[in-house]
Amino acid sequence: MDRSIKASRIQVAYHTDGEPLKALKETSFTLREGRSLGVVGESGSGKTSLALALMGLVNRPHQTAGELMLFGKSYLNLREVEKKTYRRSTMAMMFQNATEVLNPVMVIGSQLTERLIEKRLTSSRLAREEAERLLRLVGLEGWETDAYPHQLSGGMQQRVLLAMAIACNPRFLILDEPTSSLDGIARQEMIQIIKSLQKKLGFAMLVISHDLKLVGELTQEIMVMYGGRIVEKGLTDAVFEKPMHPYTCGFMNASVEMAPHKDLWGIPGEYKSEDTTAGCIFRDRCTQSLDCCQSETPALKGVSIEREVACHQDGLVSILKAESVSKEYQIGSRKISALNTVYMNLRHGETLALIGPSGSGKSTFAKIVAGFLMPDAGEIFYRGTPLTDNRFACREGGIQLVLQDPFSALSHRLTVEEAVGEPLRINNIASEEEIVSRIKETLKSLQLYSCDAFLQRYTSCLSGGQRQRVALARALVMRPKVLIADEITSMLDVSTQANVLRLLKQLQNNLGFALLLITHDLNLARKVSDQLIVMEDGKILEEGNATRILQNADQSRSAELLKAGLVDG
């Protein structure tokens, strides 16, 4: 007996007065009974269209294509009457808007048992008992059978919808935003009820939501959708730990549930709903797109164990990688181990915070991965090319390092214009006219003046906050793919620190450069980082998703450092 649901190349096209709108483009998945699959994405990504197509509820003139094998039976190819009969005995859907689903002039009990009586699964005499049983299953008391929808709270109405969905004991349950209108307490109660029901009844479950925390609690696998296509698919925990598609990464950074302590950054631009016949659906909002992304549609393919990504570059590109890096310093007759087999993988657009107390090897590591200091052992790779010197720091679109002290980082003999434009002039990157234009553009992006008076001001005449932003401008004028920031806010007051970091993160969000942030300030790392490396005495104690590490530290030495705040003054 087939116990699985297999959807193959499901498509939905809505026909209006103009051209057909393809809301869902060739979506495929497999789901076994008793398992749960989450579907997430922005509004308009095709989530609800997928649910309606699976239920067979997309009616003419709109069209559905593809195949759905529902426990061994080809469902979408059935005649309408057969489809309706099979649906009622096999699958159900909990819609998100109770006010549109519940009949305002019927009591709840009648709405719950109407279909059961129609299918002769219960008699009119026993209908009330069955309605009360269903309500108690979803955490209500049973008296609600005599109530009209408007007499119940929003949370109670949501539970009624769940009771209606499980009334016919479905083998496949689709939940469309099951907690979107609930407060935090009611939301958590609903999650526990759903988990309990699935464990008891054993149905397969498709959870559609933009609430990532909800999907994380209810599902084992996840599909991320954008513009009607799946852009990433994998195990839920693995995708949350390290998203691989640029859209998935941006979507999670915009979720307060995923990182409650971080600033929220949306994805620049908007999805254009007009149909695209070729090219990557995310290309206009992606900061790592290639020329081929304009004309060739990327296939959804496996890029690692149980992970599929639709990207011509197999997901976020590895920009800067360190493998088994070690470094010793000779001080007199003594050798000091600064780094001991340290590794790192910094990806496009990502913020990786390297944290640890003073003397843990952070600054040494920063200089090595920037190419200004050679390791004793191990290798550094920039975009797959071995890094053996600082040549990538001299190139446009390379690596730039911003140091801790803004006062010693800039020569007091240089004007602002000379300090910012110096890397361009030394490396003969642009004409003089373009250099001046880029200097002004970069200063504006950091909310500094671009007038001649400010350009001709000596750096020694600037405040600490202005100096640090000029130092950032000097790096950003080279349009780097990697920016290494070594304790760049440690000498600034809290207000200036906040302004500098906000501007830097905004620029990263718009331009897509990777940021390696060296800091001993845990709170700072918590606020801005996607990935985290905790170091002590030149060794890595822990690495991975920043939110997971900061929220779930165990009783290791890493946890002790984290609880101490890593702030040593």
Which pLDDT tens digit goes with each residue over 194-229?
999 999 999 999 999 988 889 999 999 999 999 999
Average pLDDT, the chain: 88
List Cβ neighbours of 212 (8 Å cut-off, separation of 6 or more): 40, 240, 251, 252, 255, 257, 258
Tell me the domains of the chain and their CATH numbers: 318-415+474-563 (3.40.50.300)
Taking the C-alpha atoms of residue 96 and residue 177, their distance in angstroms, rounded to an integer, is 5
pTM: 0.88
* Local structure of 321: helix, strand or coil: strand
**What is the model's pLDDT at position 368?**
94
**What is the model's pLDDT at position 119?**
58
**What is the model's pLDDT at position 124?**
67
Question: For the segment 524-560, what is each residue's pLDDT rounded down to a tens digit?
Answer: 888 889 999 999 899 998 888 888 887 765 545 666 6
Taking the C-alpha atoms of residue 91 and residue 522, their distance in angstroms, rounded to an integer, is 48
**Extended strands (E) in 455-528:** 482-486, 514-519
**What is the model's pLDDT at position 118?**
63
Which band of pLDDT confidence, cut at 50, 70 and 90, is reported for residue 454? Answer: very high
Mean pLDDT, residues 46-54:
92
Mean pLDDT, residues 131-146:
89
List Cβ neighbours of 110 (8 Å cut-off, separation of 6 or more): 127
Among candidate residues 461, 348, 347, the one with its CA nearest the CA of residue 414: 461
Taking the C-alpha atoms of residue 95 and residue 174, their distance in angstroms, rounded to an integer, is 8
**Extended strands (E) in 305-406:** 307-310, 318-331, 334-347, 351-355, 377-382, 385-386, 399-402
Write the CA distances from 201 to 120, 198, 361, integer angstroms.
21, 5, 54
Of 174-178, 269-273, 492-496, minimum mean pLDDT range: 269-273
